[in-house]
Amino acid sequence: MTILFLSDIGEDAHLLPVAAELGRRGREVRLFNPGDFPGEATVTVEGGAREPATRLSWQDQELDLAAVSSVWLRRPGRVRLSDRLPPAEGDWVRGECNDFLGAVWANCDALWVSRPDRLRGASLKLLQLKLAAGLGFRVPHFVCTNVPAQARAFVDAHPGGVVTKVLTVPVLSTPERVATLYTHLLTKEDLTHLDSVRHGPTFLQEFVRKQEDVRVTVIGDAVFAVGIDPSGAPEAVIDFRRVETLDLPHRPLALPPAVRDACLALVRRLGLRFGAIDLLLTPDGEYVFLEINPNGQWLWIEMVTDLPLTRAMADLLCQGRDASEPRVFAVPGVATWAGGEIPS
């Protein structure tokens, strides 16, 4: 059976090491970039009285989706349309393409790491925080609001400091440059601009002092934890991504059983088979939950620590359709809930 990677190979360094490991095990790996559709790739679904059959064709390759046992969804490109289409027609065709491909992937009966709809749901930060608190993690007090008075009240209630984070992709593009939006500790100057939260939802969270960052990578049933020491780089104290991460000291950690089990349970409750979880370890030894990236980076951890993450990912993908489906837990009220307290 075939293992299918859905990604733009130019956007992700993780693909080649995992493909090489699978090749050593005698598994066939195929790479399809949805960004090549419809211009440089074709997809055909034929059905009726029989179960629909789906065939992909790109470059010199063809693939029947019925032959796929596992799918690894990493960094797929956006569909690229013909420049001959006028803007309004192009918007309509893009919607048709996305709807069509969504149905194609939904009909693919394979092990997914992870399914597109699960990835979208798991990316909701407020959902993550609610589930994490329900699993026993300490979740820093936060508010997400577009009401200036509430933002000011929250800042006043936390004299130890307040950080702000994005809710979605931490990238802002302009014609002149592309900027990365890191976690930011509010300054006195920032406080003079708090009225600007009126223009959109703003996530504010109490600042928690840390001894080290902890990245927990869950791959199937395997849990790998690494402590990252930010003390030698002042900018890393707020967000270790601000510096060259490879230069920071890393050490494999043995998590307390309750923390390990909570990490594994969080990934499963989100319906995922993979998750990159960010925790803080405080000076008094408490683990604090920050967020989970349902499709995060992990190759650098293996490079620095020699933890067998590539092997674990290959192990998971080799399970194919025999693997049990993760259970998804419905969490009502997420759209309107915010704050440090978790409703029952």
What does the alpha-carbon distance between residue 325 and residue 102 come to, in Å, rounded to a whole number? 19
Give pTM, 2 decimals.
0.89
What does the alpha-carbon distance between residue 129 and residue 343 come to, in Å, rounded to a whole number? 12
- What are 44's strand-pairing partners? 55
Strand blocks (E) in 103-242: 111-113, 142-145, 162-165, 171-173, 178-180, 184-185, 202-206, 212-219, 222-228
* 111-113 and 68-73 beta bridge pairing: parallel
- What are 185's strand-pairing partners? 163
Structure confidence at residue 344 (pLDDT)? 25
pLDDT tens track, the chain, 344 positions: 899 999 999 889 999 999 999 999 999 999 999 999 999 999 999 988 677 899 999 998 999 999 999 999 999 988 888 888 888 888 899 999 999 999 999 999 999 999 999 999 999 999 999 999 999 999 999 999 999 999 999 999 999 999 999 998 777 777 778 777 888 889 999 999 999 999 999 999 999 999 999 999 999 999 999 999 988 777 777 878 777 788 889 999 999 999 999 999 999 999 999 999 999 999 999 999 999 999 999 999 999 999 999 999 999 999 997 776 665 444 333 332 222 332 22
DSSP class of residue 205?
E
Helix (H, G, I), strand (E, B) or coil at 114: coil
| Six token digits for residue 275 | 């998750």
CATH of span 141-206:
3.30.1490
Measured over the CA atoms of residue 108, residue 325, residue 342 and residue 122, the dihedral's sign is negative
Alpha helix segments (H runs only) across the chain: 15-24, 87-106, 116-122, 125-134, 148-156, 188-191, 257-269, 299-305, 309-319
Structure confidence at residue 237 (pLDDT)? 78
Q: Is the peptide bond before 148 cis (omega within 30 degrees of 0)?
A: no
Structure confidence at residue 327 (pLDDT)? 54
What does the alpha-carbon distance between residue 332 and residue 344 come to, in Å, rounded to a whole number? 10
Structure confidence at residue 330 (pLDDT)? 40
199 phi/psi in degrees, rounded to 5: -85, -5
Structure confidence at residue 329 (pLDDT)? 44
322 Cβ partners below 8 Å, 6+ apart? none
Helix (H, G, I), strand (E, B) or coil at 333: coil
Angle of the 15-24 helix axis to the 309-319 helix axis, nearest 10: 60
Structure confidence at residue 324 (pLDDT)? 66
341 Cβ partners below 8 Å, 6+ apart? none
DSSP class of residue 330?
P
Q: What is the dihedral of CA 190, 195, 201, 207, to 10 degrees?
A: 30
Q: Where are the domains of the chain?
A: 2-109, 141-206
Structure confidence at residue 341 (pLDDT)? 30
DSSP class of residue 246?
G
| Six token digits for residue 161 | 């400091």
